[in-house]
Structure 1
Amino acid sequence: MKTRLLILGLLLGNYCLSWGQTNMQDQADAWWAEAQKAYQEERYADAIEQYEKINQSGLADEALYFNLANAYYKSNQVGNSIYYYEKALLINPKDEDVAANLAYAQKMTLDQAVTPLAPTLGTAMVRSIVQWNPAYLKYGAWLGMWLFVTFAAIYRLGGTARLKKWGFALATLSAITGFLSFSAEYLRDHWTSKDQPAIVFGVVSVREAPVVSAPELFPLNEGTKVQVLEELDGWGHIALADGTQGWMELSGLKKLRELPE
Structure 2
Amino acid sequence: MRNKSSFKQNITLYSMVFMLFCLVFSSVQSQSAAQYFEKGNAAYEAENYQDAIDKYSRVLELKQESAALYYNLANANYKLNRIAPSIYNYERALQLKPGDADIKSNLVFAQNMTIDAITPLPQNTFSKWYKSILNLFTIDGWATAAVVFTMLFMGCFLVYFFVYSTAQKRLFFTATCLSFFLGLSALFFAFRSQSQTNENNIAIVFSPTVEVRQEPKMSSEEAFVLHEGTKVRILSVREEWSEIQLADGKEGWIPKTDIKAL
TM-score category (smaller protein) = 0.5 to 0.7
Question: Structure 1 pair 4/210, CA: closer, same or farther in 2 (3 Å)?
Answer: closer
SS of the equivalent of 1:25 reads helix
Work out the CA distance in 2 between the residues paired with 1:125 and 1:36.
28
Larger Rg computed on CA atoms: 2
**Correspondence 1:77-226 to 2 at 5 A:** 77-111=82-116, 112=118, 118=130, 128-129=139-140, 194-201=199-206, 202-226=208-232
The structural deviation recorded for 1:205 is 1.1
Question: Structure 1 pair 114/54, CA: closer, same or farther in 2 (3 Å)?
Answer: farther
SS of the equivalent of 1:217 reads strand
In structure 2, the residue matched to 1:64 is 69
Instruction: Report if aligned partners of 1:114, 1:227 keep a CA contact under 8 Å in 2.
Output: no
In structure 2, the residue matched to 1:54 is 59
Question: Structure 1 pair 21/70, CA: closer, same or farther in 2 (3 Å)?
Answer: same
Work out the CA distance in 2 between the residues paired with 1:237 and 1:110.
21
Question: Structure 1 pair 125/69, CA: closer, same or farther in 2 (3 Å)?
Answer: closer
More RCO (CA 8 Å, sep 6+): 1
Work out the CA distance in 2 between the residues paired with 1:211 and 1:106.
29
Work out the CA distance in 1 between the residues paired with 2:59 and 2:111.
25
Q: Which of 40, 46, 50 is matched with 1:35 structurally?
A: 40
Q: What amino acid maps onto 2:34 in structure 1?
A: D
Question: Structure 1 pair 210/126, CA: closer, same or farther in 2 (3 Å)?
Answer: farther
SS of the equivalent of 1:237 reads strand
Instruction: Report if aligned partners of 2:245, 2:252 keep a CA contact under 8 Å in 1.
Output: yes
Q: What amino acid maps onto 1:78 in structure 2?
A: I
SS of the equivalent of 2:52 reads helix
SS of the equivalent of 2:64 reads coil
TM value normalised by structure 2: 0.68
Work out the CA distance in 2 between the residues paired with 1:208 and 1:238.
11
Instruction: Report if aligned partners of 2:93, 2:103 keep a CA contact under 8 Å in 1.
Output: yes
The structural deviation recorded for 1:114 is 7.0
In structure 1, the residue matched to 2:144 is none
The structural deviation recorded for 1:97 is 0.3
Question: Structure 1 pair 247/113, CA: closer, same or farther in 2 (3 Å)?
Answer: farther
Could you tell me the percent identity over the aligned residues? 34
In structure 2, the residue matched to 1:159 is none
RMSD over aligned Cα, in angstroms? Answer: 3.0
Q: Between 204-213 and 17-26, report the one with greater CA deviation.
A: 204-213
Instruction: Report if aligned partners of 1:114, 1:226 keep a CA contact under 8 Å in 2.
Output: no
In structure 2, the residue matched to 1:229 is 235
Work out the CA distance in 2 between the residues paired with 1:108 and 1:69.
14
The structural deviation recorded for 1:6 is 3.9
The structural deviation recorded for 1:7 is 3.3
SS of the equivalent of 1:231 reads strand
1:64-96 deviation line (CA, Å, top 9, x unaligned): 000000000001101100000000011111110
Count of residues in correspondence between the two structures:
199
Work out the CA distance in 1 between the residues paired with 2:230 and 2:31.
36
Gaps of 5+ in 2: 142-193
Question: Structure 1 pair 124/83, CA: closer, same or farther in 2 (3 Å)?
Answer: closer
Instruction: Report if aligned partners of 2:203, 2:260 keep a CA contact under 8 Å in 1.
Output: yes
Work out the CA distance in 2 between the residues paired with 1:233 and 1:242.
26
In structure 2, the residue matched to 1:136 is none
Q: What amino acid maps onto 2:233 in structure 1?
A: Q
In structure 2, the residue matched to 1:139 is none
